């Protein structure tokens, strides 16, 4: 049974010409879905002026409010969307001033993708850890050296500031915000309704091996790569992979390196590290169990590999990115729960 909460939280989405539509629509649907399950949310859109706002792809979005007619003092959660238009929006003095005023009084502030540039223009605390789309991370670090930019996670929480990577990562961020407010069951119910993965933890990398590796050009190599992804913890020697591919070990070694750009052993290690990262953020297994299941054999091998590839110990990675770790918000909010 879901629970309805007496507090109505106002979620204000900041939009502008040139926004990325999914940065708005994805998180908006998550909050509206949570409202249907448990109540507690009212979503609004605000721009420099009320009326039509044209997205970067040409889609028209209606901003219900302009900054002159919406009191920023009522904002519970401020969400600044991204898009190519953010570069102009962060020089819009009236919009930046409204975002700054809303952020000062809000319980929490968030950005999707390049929306962090507008948040930064409105003022973020020195040393605040943030993320953004991988393609704009260097620009953000260069223009805002006072921030700690980390473009590996899909979203980051630093106190009451939440930032996410690009586009669909905004939905993961919104689900995390819903979970923070209403609990895991409501967040999972919303994810199921939207046919979303239940729920990608913030520590998951933007740089998935499956997405960012060169893809095999031939069917024999595709079979070998599929076997690695299907069971990272299995034995994947060159001889084993050659058997999957129907090639000799020497031929497999040569073709694998030529088609994927890395030797088989290095690719297997990349996939195992990604599997271990997911296991560390999503479950409670001891390091020894994670190491065995993901193909490292021992916790010590897992530790050495993590230090070499990621620069942190597995235990530190888990404590930093664990999605279910309870975190106390900056301010307490009186949430009075009532049975549905």
The three-state (H, E, C) secondary structure of 219-279, written as one string: HHHHHHHHHHHHCCCCCCCHHHHHHHHCCCHHHHHHHHHHHHCCCHHHHHHHHHHHHHHHH
Query: What is the band of 327 on the pLDDT scale with cuts at 50, 70, 90?
Result: very low
Numbered ranges of CATH 3.40.50.880 in the chain: 3-206
For residue 5, pLDDT over 70 is answered with no
pLDDT at 196: 77
What's the pLDDT score for residue 202? Answer: 54
Q: b/e for 296-305, b at 16 or more Cβ within 10 A?
A: beebeebbeb
Q: Which residues contact 49 (CB under 8 A, 6 or more apart)?
A: 63, 66, 67, 68
**Which of residues 329 and 254 earns the better pLDDT score?**
254
Average pLDDT for 13-18 = 98
Query: Strands, E, within 49-179: which ranges?
Result: 51-54, 60-63, 65-66, 77-80, 108-112, 129-130, 148-149, 155-158, 161-164
Q: How far apart are CA 109 and CA 279, in angstroms?
A: 29
Q: Quick one: pLDDT band at residue 320, thresholds 50, 70, 90?
A: low
- The stretch 223-233 carries a mean pLDDT of 91
pLDDT at 337 (0 to 100):
30
The two three-digit tokens of residue 110, written as one number: 């968030």
170/309 Cα distance (integer angstroms): 27
Which of 259, 226, 220 is CA-nearest to residue 242?
220
Identify whether the C-beta of residue 270 lies closer than 8 Å to the C-beta of residue 260: no
Strand 60-63 and strand 51-54: the pairing is antiparallel
How many residues does the structure list for the chain? Answer: 340
Sorting pLDDT into bands at 50, 70 and 90, what band is 306?
A: confident
117, 90 Cβ separation under 8 angstroms: yes
The answer on pLDDT for 36 being more than 50 is yes
Within 13 A of 120's CA, how many CA atoms are on the CB side? Answer: 28
Taking a C-beta distance cutoff of 8 angstroms, is the pair 23, 112 a contact? yes
Residues of the chain with CATH 1.10.10.60: 209-321
pLDDT: which is higher, 338 or 254: 254
Measured CA to CA, the distance from residue 308 to residue 270 in angstroms comes to 12
Average pLDDT of span 281-286: 83
Return the CATH fold of 209-321.
Answer: Arc Repressor Mutant, subunit A (1.10.10)
Instruction: State pLDDT tens for residues 80-133.
Output: 999 999 999 999 999 999 999 999 999 999 999 999 999 999 999 999 999 999
Give domain 3-206's CATH number out of 3.40.50.720, 3.40.190.10, 3.40.1410.10, 3.40.50.880. 3.40.50.880
């Amino acid at each position: 049974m879901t629970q309805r909460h007496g507090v109505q939280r106002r979620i204000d989405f900041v939009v502008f010409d040139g926004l990325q539509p999914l940065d708005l629509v994805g998180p908006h649907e998550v909050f509206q879905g949570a409202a249907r399950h448990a109540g507690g949310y009212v979503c609004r859109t605000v721009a420099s002026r009320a009326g039509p706002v044209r997205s970067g792809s040409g889609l028209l979005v209606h901003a219900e409010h302009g900054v002159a007619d919406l009191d920023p003092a009522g904002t519970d959660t401020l969400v600044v969307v991204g898009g190519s238009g953010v570069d102009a929006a962060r020089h819009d003095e009236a919009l930046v001033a409204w975002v700054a005023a809303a952020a000062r009084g809000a319980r929490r502030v968030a950005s999707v993708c390049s929306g962090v540039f507008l948040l930064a223009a409105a003022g973020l605390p020195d040393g605040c850890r943030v993320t953004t789309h991988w393609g704009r991370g260097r620009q953000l670090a260069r223009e805002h050296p006072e921030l700690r930019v980390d473009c590996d996670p899909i979203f980051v929480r630093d106190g009451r500031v939440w930032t996410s990577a690009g586009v669909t990562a905004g939905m993961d961020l919104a689900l995390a915000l819903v979970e923070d407010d209403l609990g895991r069951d409501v967040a999972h119910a919303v994810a199921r309704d939207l046919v979303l993965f239940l729920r990608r933890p913030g520590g998951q990398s933007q740089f998935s091996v499956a997405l960012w590796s060169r893809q095999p050009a031939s069917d024999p190599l595709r079979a070998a790569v599929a076997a690695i992804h299907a069971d990272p913890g299995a034995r994947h020697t060159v001889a084993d992979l050659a058997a999957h591919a129907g090639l000799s070990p020497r031929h497999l070694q040569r073709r694998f390196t030529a088609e994927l750009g890395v030797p088989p052993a290095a690719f297997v290690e990349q996939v195992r590290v990604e599997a271990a990262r997911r296991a560390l953020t999503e479950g409670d297994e001891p390091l020894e169990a994670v190491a065995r299941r993901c193909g490292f054999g021992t916790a010590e091998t897992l530790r050495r590999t993590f230090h070499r590839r990621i620069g942190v110990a597995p235990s530190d990675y888990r404590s930093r990115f664990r999605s279910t770790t309870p975190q106390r918000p900056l301010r307490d909010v009186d949430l009075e729960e009532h049975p549905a």
